């Protein structure tokens, strides 16, 4: 399977969902073992929608054996247990446990994300974050500059 849960996000209109969602007490096991650039729990904020979905939480969950076991295809293998992609913002990720994961938590840019009280055991990388929005996604950060 590619992703176990596609959570929150991508909805600009608040009445369509993606705002103040709570994901809790879940167990994710043996997910994403045939894929790359993926997360067992994945959410994405493409083209500025990352900032329009505040207040989502992922808590009290267990992630176990989240890693590619089938080999790479045309790109390098990147498998995350929790993947906030493309500047997804305003997530609260806390009190989760990660066992035997390639990457426990991954923040691909974004603002106002809070990660705390997570436990990582036998993970290759516990937590990764990068500065998307300052490089190749820079145009999506300055939404209002189009109107000035």
Residue 26 reports pLDDT greater than 90: yes
Instruction: Give per-residue pLDDT as tens, 66-100.
Output: 999 887 766 678 899 999 998 889 999 999 999 99
Centre a 10 Å sphere on the Cβ of residue 115 and count the other Cβ atoms it contains. 18
Query: Are residues 63 and 42 in contact, defined by beta-carbon separation less than 8 angstroms?
Result: no
Q: Listing from the earlier edge strand, what are the strands of the sheet with 22-24?
A: 22-24, 56-59, 91-94, 114-116
Instruction: Give the C-alpha separation, 84 to 41, whole Å.
Output: 8
Indicate the range of 23-32, 38-47, 83-92 predicted with least confidence: 38-47
Instruction: Give the C-alpha separation, 86 to 83, whole Å.
Output: 10
Instruction: Give the C-alpha separation, 147 to 93, whole Å.
Output: 33
- pLDDT value of residue 11: 56
Instruction: Give the C-alpha separation, 93 to 53, whole Å.
Output: 15
Residue 21 reports pLDDT greater than 60: yes
Of 111, 114, 15, the closest CA to residue 57 belongs to 114
Indicate the range of 51-55, 62-66, 141-145 predicted with least confidence: 141-145
Residue 65 reports pLDDT greater than 90: yes
């Amino acid at each position: 399977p590619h992703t176990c849960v596609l959570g929150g996000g991508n909805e600009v209109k608040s009445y369509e969902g993606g705002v103040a969602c709570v994901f809790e007490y879940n167990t994710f096991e043996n997910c994403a073992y045939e894929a790359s650039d993926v997360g067992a729990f994945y959410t994405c904020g493409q083209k500025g929608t990352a900032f329009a979905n505040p207040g989502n939480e992922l808590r009290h969950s267990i992630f176990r054996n989240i890693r590619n076991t089938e080999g790479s295809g045309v790109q390098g293998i990147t498998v995350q247990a929790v993947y906030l992609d493309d500047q997804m913002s305003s997530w609260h990720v806390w009190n989760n446990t990660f066992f035997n994961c390639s990457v426990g938590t991954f923040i691909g840019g974004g603002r106002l994300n809070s990660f705390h009280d997570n436990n990582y055991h036998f993970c290759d990388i516990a937590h990764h974050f990068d500065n998307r929005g300052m490089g190749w996604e820079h145009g999506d950060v300055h939404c209002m500059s189009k109107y000035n």
